[in-house]
Every structure is written in C-alpha cells, then in structure tokens.
Amino acid sequence: ETGVTQTPRHLVMGMTNKKSLKCEQHLGHNAMYWYKQSAKKPLELMFVYNFKEQTENNSVPSRFSPECPNSSHLFLHLHTLQPEDSALYLCASSPKGYMELDTQYFGPGTRLTVL
Amino acid sequence: AQSVSQHNHHVILSEAASLELGCNYSYGGTVNLFWYVQYPGQHLQLLLKYFSGDPLVKGIKGFEAEFIKSKFSFNLRKPSVQWSDTAEYFCAVNPILTGGGNKLTFGTGTQLKVEL
C-alpha cells in the first residue's frame, strides 16, 4: 500500500462511451502522473501534473483528457476509445514536484477493456 | 531517446537459487536508477534505488543491485530466492537533464517464477 488509490479497479467500456478514471493521494505529494501499461511493452508516461499544472503530454491522443482539480486528485477522462487502448492505467505521485528527481509511488491501476 | 533493456523476459528458478536480472540503459550521462516489483494482483512498489554514492545498493527483502557506469548496467541480485519473490520486476532510469524533470523510462519487465 503506497497511499495512492485508483478507482475503479476494472472498467469495461464500449467505443462510444465516456468514462473517467480517478486517482487520489493524501501523501502531500506535489507531482502526479498517468502511465499506460500494455502487455509486453514498457510503461509509457502519458501525462504529468506538477503543482496542479500540466507539464507533460507525451503525445497522447485527444481521446484521453486529464484533469487535476487539486493537489490530491487526478482524473483521466476517456471518450471514443479504441480497442487498442485496452491496458492497465497507472497513477503515480512524487513528493517534491516534477523538477525534483525522486521516487514515484504507484497506485494499483485500473484495468481498462475497450470493446 | 533513452531506452532500458531487460534481456530476460521470463525467468524460472527453484527456491534457494540465486537470482540476477539484467538491466542496461542507453543514456550516457548521469542517471538515477530504480528497480520496482509488481507482485501478482498488487501495485508497483519500489524495491531499491540508486541516486549517488556507493554503487552497490541494498533494498528490501534481501535484494541488492550494482550500478556499473562503464557498462550502463544496474543488475538486480538476490542470493537465495523464495517462492514469495514470484513477481514481475521492472528496471527504470531517470536521466538527469537540465530542466528534464522526474521522467522515468521503464524496461519491459522480467517475469520471475520461483518454484517450490
């Protein structure tokens, strides 16, 4: 248990659906991250929020839309996804902010299946 | 772009056997290095990390890793594995770049199965 929680843990959605993934940390961390973990591929960084401001978008398609309303919560809004977007989506946070090199703490992930 | 190579994708060992998992990275400058572990059904958790100092790093659960700068390697070792070490192991690198940020590049992972 790292103190980073994610909901839901599993999600099945159709290509026309709209859904959101939620990440929460009450560790007082200042940077939050979204990663995609696909089978047989390395974890891919998607987005970074530093002190609630988006600082990285790793060429992610616009059908993924992140939101960071406060320093403890991070969302990933999903719409018109494709079957190849099926993956494990991981949230992470780090204590001092994105510009400070430090350990990232990961949540358990949301297993997303797009039909 | 940086890359991280974990050459062993699947490793099967008997209990009490010694373990060494390879990790090589491509970045030529200063790096921070990590090993994360993901037990079945659980989240990624930090096993150990190297930022500076002694290149032999000790982590949790008897694991250690050695940073060899000349070989761009950060191999993970454990002298005697247990059944409970069955998990997927990920090496990650954070190159230290001016203005670069806390950006991890992960390897594809090594699935370790320890048999009784």
Mutate to test the interface with B, among A101, A102, A110 (most CBs of B within 10 A): A101
As a whole number, the mean pLDDT across chain B is: 93
B24 in contact with A, Cβ within 8 Å: no
Chain A residue numbers touching B4 (CB-CB < 8 A)? 42
Mutate to test the interface with A, among B102, B103, B110 (most CBs of A within 10 A): B102
Rounded CA separation B9/B17 (Å): 18
Rounded CA separation A71/B44 (Å): 21
Q: Which residue of A has its CA nearest to B109?
A: A42
Subunit contact A42:B107, Cβ cutoff 8 A: yes
Subunit contact A101:B42, Cβ cutoff 8 A: no
Distance from CA of A5 to the nearest CA of B (A): 10
Q: Which residue of A has its CA nearest to B40?
A: A108
Rounded CA separation B112/B13 (Å): 8
pLDDT at B99 over 80: no
CB A46 within 8 A of CB A63: no
Structure tokens at B17: 């056997």
Q: What's the whole-number mean pLDDT along residues A39-68?
A: 92
> What is the separation, in whole angstroms, between the first and last Cα of chain A?
31
Q: Which residue of B has its CA nearest to A99?
A: B101
Residue spans of beta strands (DSSP E) within chain A? 4-7, 10-13, 18-25, 31-37, 44-50, 53-57, 64-70, 73-79, 87-94, 105-106, 110-114
Rounded CA separation A47/B64 (Å): 31
Q: What count of CB pairs under 8 Å joins A to B?
A: 56
pLDDT at A115 over 90: yes
Chain A residue numbers touching B94 (CB-CB < 8 A)? 101
In three-state secondary structure terms, A75 is strand
Structure tokens at B33: 């290095």
CB B72 within 8 A of CB B66: no
CB B53 within 8 A of CB B113: no
Q: What's the whole-number mean pLDDT along residues A92-115?
A: 92
In the chain, the amino acid numbered A56 is: E
pLDDT at B114 over 70: yes
Q: Nearest CB to B43: which of A2, A41, A43?
A: A2
CB B33 within 8 A of CB B47: no
B25 DSSP β-pair partners: B4
- Dump pLDDT digits (tens) for B19-66: 999 999 998 888 999 999 999 988 999 999 999 999 999 999 999 999
Subunit contact A4:B108, Cβ cutoff 8 A: no
The total of other beta-carbon atoms located within 10 Å of residue A108's CB is 20
Q: What is residue A1's predicted lDDT score, i.e. its pLDDT?
A: 64
